[in-house]
Amino acid sequence: MSHEIFNPLDPETIRDPYPVYRTLRESDPVHWHEELQAWILTRHADCTSVLKNPDLFTADFRKVGVPTPGPLLSLQTLDPPDQTPLRHFAVEALRSQDLKQLERDAETRAAALLDGLAGRETFDFVADFATPFTLGTISQLVGMPPPEADEEWRRHNERLHRSMDSGLDPDSEEAGLAARQHFSDYVARWLAGKPETGISGFVAANRHRVDYPDEVLFNSLRAFWHAGFEVPARFLGNALVTLQQHPDAAAGIWDDIDTAVEELVRFSGPVHVVSRAAVADTTIGGRAVRCGDMVVAVLAAANRDPQRFTDPERLDMRRDPNPHLGFGRGTHSCLGNVVARIEARVALRALHDRYPGLSVVGTERFANATLHGHSSIRVRPAGVLAAVH
């Protein structure tokens, strides 16, 4: 992709893609990428229109003749009307849970993790806090014990991460499918034990109400569980680094933590792109899009579109309204966004309370274009407060 303005896997683009996004948005907002064989959309209006119109832009690529491997068949890859009963079932399962108790338990979990790091000269915010915190929280919600983070778990997780870019890196697809199947099998074994708590308990008790193959149900619960720790963990890392880089803006985070979280999602959310396929000839921004064409909505670019946001390159903790696309739009919008918001405010508040002088001393990034984030953030506590219980 050396001749293309947009090479998603270029190390410099991975480090900071926003200049490239801005150039595309200003010069060619509906850009045909010859090597990807896809339209790249960078304006808020175009991305929103695609996400909210599943009848024309499908997430189910089988509709344009592209086979969908078994491990990918889930709530995420079905469109209405096929998706509708399953999404309603999933929403009901989520609403059946005590989210206030989940938040209280998340506060306890965050405190315990941070207390356990007291006395260290440095620690890895991602490995030592963000990942175990989000994994524990989503596993409690789902009603499954979090798997042991051993070498096998890390290997499968890494392969799944890499395969998120399988459209850019085809060699990653097979291993990624195997990793998804591994985690879906874990879900299937847990459901076979007839769990009684959490979302899995709801699913086990109400399985007869939805007419979907077991594979689709297992994959959907696996996708919800996996996204429920991986995406928020990357968000927390991005948010921490962003706050360190913008200390003046960071001072306003406690005026209204919920409003501040929305701005952090807009400014440095981890989900950068989603893909759809056109199921009929149409136009986007005056460009002719043919049936079968792939369309890539760059959500992170849309979230800094000056046609939708005033002064979009500025981190504004009081920004309201804030119609960001960090959680998507339409029938495939993030089902767990309420949980992500809980995790964000709990984690950021706990971190501030215990380590108000925390500083970032080193970072490493995932080489991932779809889901941006840090694989490691080395931090140094300063002015550590006594543990709060």
Per-position DSSP letters for 114-166, written without gaps between them: HHHTTT-S-EEIIIIIIHHHHHHHHHHHHT-PPPP--HHHHHHHHHHHHHTTT
Q: What is the pLDDT of residue 85?
A: 97
Are 22 and 6 in contact by the 8 Å Cβ rule? The answer is no
Confidence of residue 131 (pLDDT cuts 50, 70, 90): very high
* Domain, as residue range, for 323: 11-380
Beta-carbon contacts of 74 under 8 Å, excluding residues fewer than 6 positions away, are 216, 219, 220, 222, 223
Indicate whether 45 belongs to any domain: yes
pLDDT tens digit string along 73-88? 999 999 999 999 999 9
CATH number (domain holding residue 183): 1.10.630.10
**Confidence class for position 297, pLDDT limits 50, 70, 90:** very high
Phi-psi region of 146 (alpha: psi -120 to 50; beta: other; left: phi over 0): beta
| Mean pLDDT value of segment 172-177 | 91
Nearest CA-CA partner of 165 in 175, 156, 155: 175
CB-CB contact of 105 with 140 (8 Å): yes
| 3 falls within a domain | no
Q: Classify residue 22: in a domain, yes or no.
A: yes
Query: Which of 15-29, 152-166, 282-296, 300-314 has the least mean pLDDT?
Result: 152-166
The answer on pLDDT for 233 being more than 90 is yes
Is 90 exceeded by the pLDDT of residue 97?
yes
The CA distance from 34 to 94, in Å, is 41
Per-residue pLDDT tens digits for 266-287: 999 999 999 999 999 999 999 9
| pTM, full prediction | 0.94
pLDDT tens figures, 358-379: 999 999 999 999 999 999 999 9
Res 384: pLDDT = 44
Mean of the per-residue pLDDT values for the chain?
A: 93
Report pLDDT for 370: 93
Q: Is the pLDDT of residue 216 over 50?
A: yes
Does the pLDDT value for residue 147 go beyond 90? Answer: no
Pick the range with the lowest mean pLDDT from 55-69, 103-117, 139-153, 252-266.
139-153
Q: Give the confidence band of 98 by pLDDT, cuts at 50, 70, 90.
A: very high
In a domain, 388, yes or no: no
Burial class (CB in 10 A: 0-12, 13-18, 19+), 384: middle
Report pLDDT for 251.
Answer: 85
CA distances from 20 to 12, 189, 202, 271, 307 (A): 10, 44, 45, 16, 17
**Which segment of 168-172, 237-241, 304-308 scores lowest on mean pLDDT?**
168-172
Using 50, 70 and 90 to split pLDDT, how confident is the model at 387? very low
Say what percent of the chain tops pLDDT 70: 97
For range 174-186, the mean pLDDT: 91
Q: 166: pLDDT confidence band, cut at 50, 70 and 90? A: confident
Classify residue 385: in a domain, yes or no.
no
32 within some domain: yes
Count of domains in the chain?
Answer: 1
Evaluate whether residue 389 is within a structural domain: no
Query: Is residue 221 a part of any domain in this protein?
Result: yes
List, in sequence order, the alpha helices (H) in the chain: 11-15, 18-27, 44-51, 84-95, 99-116, 131-142, 151-163, 173-192, 198-206, 214-245, 247-250, 257-268, 299-302, 337-354
Q: How many CB atoms are located within 10 Å of the residue 30 CB?
A: 19
Place 157 in a pLDDT band, splitting at 50, 70 and 90.
confident
pLDDT category of residue 3 using cuts at 50, 70 and 90: low
pLDDT score recorded for residue 171: 84
